[in-house]
Amino acid sequence: MNTDTVIAELVNILKEFQTMLGHDDADCITPQTRPHGGLKGFQSDLTPTIVRKVAKKLGEPLADGVDPINIFVSEDKQRKLTVEEAAKRFSDRYSPKGAPDERPGGEEKDHREPAPGSAEDGGAYAGAGFGPDGASSSGDLRD
């Protein structure tokens, strides 16, 4: 996903949100717009929804457990970013790190965590009442 595509999608989605929220400044949104302070009624609480919607539109939906960052402020939270800068921050954070044919060996990286107790996880499982050989007897359960 390239930055120009992300910029275009962000502009479209911001226009959609401004219109949906009843603000009359949707047609003024450009890559140089700073949503925080530059768009009527724009609040940080809209950001996770916007980030998820952009990711989905670009064919890279975020996993349920991902807590989207506020792409419209700098990493140190000291500066309000333009749509163009936000698109770069989005791309750096959420875009795939190269296509499979651009990765060494051309293989997909498996980003999933190994299942608890699996060989990849070292075989350890810390569930209550279970030892390495299965269920513990009632005498082994401690408070």
**Does residue 122 lie in a domain region?**
no
Tell me the average pLDDT of the chain.
Answer: 80
Q: Are 99 and 93 in contact (CB under 8 A)?
A: no
In a domain, residue 105? The reply is no
**Counted domains in the chain:** 1
- For residue 121, tell me if it sits in a domain: no
Model's pTM, two decimal places? 0.67
How confident is the model over 74-93, as pLDDT tens digits? 999 999 999 999 999 999 99
What's the average pLDDT block by block, 10 residues per block, for the chain (143 residues)?
92 96 96 96 94 95 94 96 97 74 43 56 50 51 49
**46: nearest Cα among 36, 32, 56:** 36
Residue at 46 is within a domain: yes
Contact 9, 68 (CB under 8 A): no
Residue 125, in any domain of the structure:
no
Nearest Cα residue to 51 out of 29, 32, 33, 73: 73
Q: Does the residue 24 lie in any domain?
A: yes
- How far from 110 is each of 92, 100, 107, 113, 114, CA to CA, in Å? 19, 12, 9, 8, 10
Domain region containing 87? 3-98
- Separation of alpha carbons 94 and 55, rounded Å: 8
**Domain annotation covers residue 116:** no
